[in-house]
Structure 1
Amino acid sequence: MSIQRFHIGPRMSQMVVHKDTVYLAGQVADEPTPDVERQTIQILAQIDALLAEAGSDKSKLLSATIYLADIASFGAMNKAWDAWVDPANPPARATVEAKLAAPQYLVEIQVTAAK
């Protein structure tokens, strides 16, 4: 059984590939701004880069879980998401309000994709 781990840290890997499935850790903005839409755009760019590294792309997304520090920002996050997601291949998705790891993070996105 082949398991590949990418960008391994002391606590977690940013991405794990098992067979033809790509699992990403929850992604947060590298340069958090006080704007949910901009943080979402940054995160989606990170997801694009990680999926490309694994030989996949957003058209192969299977599922996404989006965590918002404030569910009232749902519309702002969706504005960025809707501009990014492949409309012919949207994943199964859940969005929840959650307390995130640090107050500067307003959104965190975790995805699973096929290769």
Structure 2
Amino acid sequence: MIDRKHISARMSKIVTHNSVVYLCGQVGAGETVAEQTRDCLSRIDALLEEAGSGREHILQAIVWLRDMADFAEMNAVWDAWVPAGHAPARACGEARLARDVLKVEIIVTAALKP
């Protein structure tokens, strides 16, 4: 069974299938990459909780940065957010994001809590 939440014509914010949670790409508000990353991760926390998962159950994360020069600043926020011993598989790359003000977008796949 596939369960979709927050469905629009373009996408669903949460899709669950076979005990796996897929989140749409999340962005955050703020001026700096650190502010945007913190806000983005807060949104991920809320969506994971709604889906019945959490940070410690993240399987994979894909991080897109507008500028790889922001890699260390984003990682400082990321590293403080990921629970010790629960780092997911992760990739990070540079990309043009949907709006010029966006500096980071994160896509998460997680397992449901047992």
Give the TM-score normalised by structure 2.
0.96
1:62 is displaced (CA, Å) by: 0.3
SS at the partner of 1:43?
A: helix
Structure 2: any 5+ residue segments left out of the alignment? none
Structure 1: any 5+ residue segments left out of the alignment? none
For 1:36-75, what aligned pairs fall within 5 Å after superposition? 36-75=33-72
Q: Distance in 1 between matches of 2:104 and 2:25?
A: 10
Residue aligning to 2:11? 12
Cα distance per residue 1:38-82 (max 9 Å; x no partner)? 100001011010000011100000000000000000011001101
Residue aligning to 1:35? 32
Q: Stretches of 4+ moved more than 6 A in 1?
A: none
Match for 1:44: what amino acid?
L
Q: CA RMSD in A?
A: 0.6
Give the TM-score normalised by structure 1.
0.95
Q: Distance in 2 between matches of 1:10 and 1:114?
A: 26
